[in-house]
Amino acid sequence: HGNAIALNGRDCSVQRRFQKIIEEGPPIAAKPEIWPQMEKAAVALAQEVNYSNAGTVEYLYCFDDDTFAFLELNPRLQVEHPVTEMITGVNLPAAQLQVSMGIPLQGNPEIRRLYGYEPYSKEHIDFEGGSSDHPKRIPPKGHCIAVRITAENPDAGFQPTSGTIEELNFRSTPDVWGYFSVDSSGTVHEFADSQFGHLFAHGENRESARKNMIMALKELSIRGDIRTTTEYIIQMMTSPDFIENHISTAWLDERIKLGRNTPEAKLTRSEAPLVATVGALVTFVRKISGIYDDFVTMIKRGQSPAHDMIVVEDTVSLIYEDMKYVLQISQAGGESDSTIPVGTHGIFYLRAVSPSGQISADYVEARVHMLSDKGYLIHVGGRSHTAYATHEPTGLRLTLDGQTCVFSKEYDPTRLTTDVAGKLVKQLVSDGDHVEAGQAFAEIEVMKMFMPVKAHESGTLLWQLTEGAAMVAGDLMATMDLDHPELVKTAAKFEGSLTECAELRSTVDECKAKALDLYPHRNFTAAYSKLETIMKGYAVPDEQYEKALEDLGQALQDPLLVVYDVADALGPLSGRLDVKCHKDLMRLVNEALDGQTPAGEAAPFAERVLARLADHTQGLTPDVAAAFRAQCAALYDAAERFKGGVAARSIAVLQTLVALYMRCEREFNNVDKPKPFNEAVKDLRKDVFPNKPEAVFETCRSHRSFKQKNDLMCFVLQQIRDSLELRGRELGPPSPPTFSPGGTPSLRKSASITKLMRAASDQKVDATSLIKADLSELSAWTSKAYNRVALEARMLLIEQEQPSIAARRSRVAEWLRACLALSPGIEKVDNGPRARKMAEFLHLNIPLHDLVADFLTMGDEATQFAALELYIRKIYPLHNLRNLEASGGETNSGGLPLTLKFQFFNTFTDAAGLSTSTSVADLASSGASATLPGGKALRTGVFVKCASLEEFAAAVPALLAQFPAAQPGERVDNCLHVALLGGGAGVVGQCASASLDEDAFAGAAAAFLQGLAPKLSAAGLARVTVLTFVGSSGQEGGIPSIFTFRNGGRGKA
């Protein structure tokens, strides 16, 4: 029919390697007066060659002189034809069919509409000239942008990638339309073209279309083995150059050379420590999740997992942006609504590990929840992030909030591998040839593209694959013997703290700035949950451990705790409970909260609540009353928990922790010997949790962290023991932390809990009856792993049978009076009436270590000497004491402080059985001894009471004279006991009082004794033991601390 028309045009300047990435229309690069010329030239070309089809004429437009040059004519539709359709309203495939059917252009309804005519009219159209009634062509409708979605890696110069697609999620909207050649179960293989999708965004103008496209790209979700250009295009379309349309055919290639250093990439990129933190989290969570799956599978098969299979703490190393991050990660709990926390969700703590192996004191807290699509929702630094991870041969690929972050493996230039699937087309060098850095040594084919592979270092190349070999990502193509391996650049090591990152810092800031919650029941729940988490085997930072202990005590001391507990239980009963009863209970709660009734004691309030409930059930039938109690079970529990008062409630809380501990650990102990792990797992699977492998895992995980649990258990048992041990003492400040039995320090402390235990002691709360069976069972365990806990349990059982301090003080005073009546002074014979009377007292096994200071500072000197003798006979029960001799004091000569000298045989070791606070020493090792006939060495001991170390220092010459002269070549272990009980006890200018803690006193005393080492060694002294009050123990009601300094090294008493 001789007609040809131009349906506007498209701008395809954004391309790389001469392949289009973005097309848009109508073009706005060419000036308005130039564009009609370009259309007219295209029409003339089609008419000149009698072209009868749809086609595309391509031009190259020159900005400098506003000229254009012909490139080619594509005699077909291009994949971007929807751009033209959206701005013209003409269906191009339909128009193409009509042309092939012989229908003239004037007969196409959409073309008629484009030129301002009725779609189905017969009026002739003048395509070239137009008329006043019908313009030449209606202007384009808005603007349209098309983006190709390709399986290419923008971080590697748009290198093609291949692999499976796990998820492809896109929904068309009125403004954005798209299509894909694969779905969520598809694969992009290495023999196909890299493009597998196309998006088209329309808008009123170019800016509107651009924003619509960016929104669509952000909502597009593609996950799998492949890499895509989606993120890169988003950054590219937000650049000022693209927004202002300052682009050319070379523009994208120039951006590609910048890599990840474009301004837009820097603005949208997450901070490296955040990326490293999330990457380490995902890696660790995957590990423990895999361990859980393997463990449960083995249990189901009847197999026995290894005892060290479960981990709750690990170190993860990752390299990101040439920086190596080594992070320690701890799993600190699962979600509260999960019966069996597995590790696929929960709380985690991360700390940076320095190159020297030092673990940072600062930590980052993160909460992780695994999504149904195998992604992760991570809350860290006060923000939530979504993450997807893929482990590739070249390293971990992480998609964090839509941004792809690639972690690399340790750089090894001796292994030349491929990071894409393809075929080795040609070896550019021979086997054994020398290759320079940057030299291409191979050519590979990837998705119909031939690409060179270059060496990163110089060296001799040895081929491992032959030409034509098919490769997958990670395959080793060749190895290389490096010329200069010492010059290979390695990743720098991260030396900072994670909290220096702004995106992670808010967690720490929130924790520091968070004020104490006004609601004690919430504080109690949070603190108890943290301790319960420890008993479940999770790892909790020491800072939060200590905080949980203190918060627990503070919450229990709050008089409104029971009130809020009752109020919480009443909430769900509103509308279900009798109106009058509910109103009365709420009145009790409101009066307590408003201060109208005293809430200082929990027991009265709880009793009033229980009394009101009892009044309500009086007129009910037994069945109705039982139903009422079942309905109000939570309310009854809240009130009954405090029926015995705060002190009793506090003991009950500690007892529940003991029960949690025993519930797990008894499964790994027999009555008389430890139970092997495989036997314990077998019993758990068969008898305790049949058909519940998840519960077996939970129990084994709890047992795996028994050391941290033992620490908490020792603290709990010590606190319960304090409630018995402190009976009869005046209420004073809490004692400082002490060394636990066995010499292992127990640094846990809580002033608030100690105060509650003192209250429990004053109220004589039954602290052990409910757990006596557990304590008896625990005290019989013989495994070394439970020595500390078993000893604490035995001591608690013994303490339970002991009278109170007041009763013991009265009993000791009575016996001392009896001894003084028999002999007012030290007897000259070794087994006189007074010594026998003291032996009778010692058979009663009454503890003296917390009373001796009282009797050494009260009464006359005769009483003090008697107390001193009784104490020495107590701590040396098996040494056959002899030759006791009193000296010093006001009534004795020699100018010494109150001193008692004694001798004993070296047949037995010291059986003091005292709880020692600390032991430090480094005295020179030497000495002499005297040996009695029969081979028994006779040792000499001296016990002196001083007001300060200054007084002791002045008395040292006279005290050392008390020891017999050493014989050459012989050795004897003499001992010196020093009681520093004066009001101004000091350490050569330092006061051993509240201003010094135990470590400070021990260090100062050790330094002082070190200066006396030669003199002490010359006297044959093997150890010096100091009994004194340190820190708050010097206050009324405190218990003295005992320090032992051994000759030649650190010792334990």
Looking at the DSSP bridge assignments, the partners of residue 392 are: 395
Q: C-alpha angle 132/134/135, rounded to 5°? A: 80
Radius of gyration of the chain (CA): 43
Taking the whole predicted model, whether its pTM rises above 0.75 is answered as no
Q: What sign has the CA pseudo-torsion 893, 895, 897, 900?
A: negative
Catalytic residue, from 76, 415, 587, 836: name it. 76
Listed residue (735, 727, 729) closest to 754, CA to CA: 735
| 767 contacts: CB under 8 Å, gap ≥ 6 | 651, 655, 720, 723, 724, 760, 800
Directed axis angle between helix 542-557 and helix 751-762, to 10°?
40
Listed residue (888, 892, 909) closest to 952, CA to CA: 888
pLDDT of residue 735: 38
* Side-chain-side CA neighbours of residue 865 (13 Å): 27
Q: C-alpha angle 694/697/698, rounded to 5°? A: 90
The C-alpha atoms of residue 325 and residue 342 are separated, in whole angstroms, by: 26
The C-alpha atoms of residue 936 and residue 834 are separated, in whole angstroms, by: 26
pLDDT of residue 121: 86
Could you tell me how far CA 9 lies from the centroid of its own chain? 58
76 classed as catalytic: yes
The C-alpha atoms of residue 130 and residue 57 are separated, in whole angstroms, by: 23
The C-alpha atoms of residue 743 and residue 788 are separated, in whole angstroms, by: 9
Residue carrying structure tokens 């890299």: 194
pLDDT of residue 987: 38
The number of residues in the chain equals: 1053
Residues of the chain with pLDDT under 50: 336-344, 507-509, 512-513, 515-516, 599-600, 727-747, 908-935, 983-994, 1049-1053
> How large a percentage of the chain has pLDDT more than 90?
28
Looking at the DSSP bridge assignments, the partners of residue 930 are: 938
Q: Are 318 and 280 in contact (CB under 8 A)?
A: yes
Rama region for 708: left / alpha / beta (φ>0; ψ in -120 to 50; rest):
alpha
* Alpha-carbon distances of 82 from 22, 54, 180, 219, 994, rounded to whole Å: 13, 13, 14, 21, 84
The C-alpha atoms of residue 38 and residue 51 are separated, in whole angstroms, by: 17
Could you tell me how far CA 744 lies from the centroid of its own chain? 26
Helix (H) or strand (E) holding 180: strand 176-180
Amino acid at 1005: A
Q: Are 285 and 341 in contact (CB under 8 A)?
A: no
On the 0-12 / 13-18 / 19+ scale of CB atoms within 10 A, 400 is buried
Q: Are 605 and 562 in contact (CB under 8 A)?
A: yes
Q: Are 216 and 199 in contact (CB under 8 A)?
A: yes
On the 0-12 / 13-18 / 19+ scale of CB atoms within 10 A, 250 is exposed
Q: Are 974 and 1030 in contact (CB under 8 A)?
A: no
pLDDT of residue 337: 41
Amino acid at 200: F
For the record, the structure tokens of 973 come out as: 């272990």
pLDDT of residue 932: 43
Question: Collapsing DSSP states into helix, strand and coil, what is residue 481?
Answer: strand
Greatest alpha-carbon pair distance for the chain in Å reads 145
The C-alpha atoms of residue 384 and residue 468 are separated, in whole angstroms, by: 48
Q: Name the H helices within 823-928.
A: 833-842, 852-856, 861-875
Helix (H) or strand (E) holding 1009: helix 998-1011
For the record, the structure tokens of 978 come out as: 């020093």
Q: Are 344 and 293 in contact (CB under 8 A)?
A: no
